[in-house]
Amino acid sequence: MTLDAGLVQALEADYKSAPIADQERAMLDHAVKLTKDATKVSRADIDRLRTAGFNDQAILQITLIAAWFNYINRVADALGVGRD
């Protein structure tokens, strides 16, 4: 969470060029890959998270939270939640 509107704008525009720590970028890279096609997440992706400083518990949490948001968004989309 941040109250820095500039950081929020930078993240929304392109998190890859936003002024965030390498560890945060690695976490977002993982969440994006999981979101686009979870079947393409490999051992190398998990190793990148470990190299970035995440332990197994943190990797599980990152994966569960990203997957949960994907699930909830798909359910909401399928039911038309938020559409006029």
Concatenating the DSSP letter of every residue in 4-36 gives -HHHHHHHHHHGGGSS--HHHHHHHHHHHHHHH
Domain assignment present for 72:
yes
State how far the alpha carbon of 23 is from the alpha carbons of 28, 36, 50, 84, in Å. 9, 20, 10, 39
Domain assignment present for 29:
yes
Choose among 66, 58, 64: nearest CA to 33: 66
Report residues of the chain scoring pLDDT below 70.
1-2
Q: Which domain holds residue 41?
A: 21-79
Domain assignment present for 3:
no
pLDDT at residue 38 in the model:
95
Domain assignment present for 32:
yes
Domain assignment present for 16:
no
Domain assignment present for 38:
yes
State how far the alpha carbon of 5 is from the alpha carbons of 34, 38, 79, 80, in Å. 27, 31, 32, 30
pLDDT at residue 34 in the model:
96
- The tokens for 53 are 């400083």
pLDDT at residue 82 in the model:
82
pLDDT at residue 30 in the model:
97
Q: Which pTM was predicted?
A: 0.84
pLDDT at residue 4 in the model:
84
Tell me how many domains the chain contains.
Answer: 1
Domain assignment present for 65:
yes
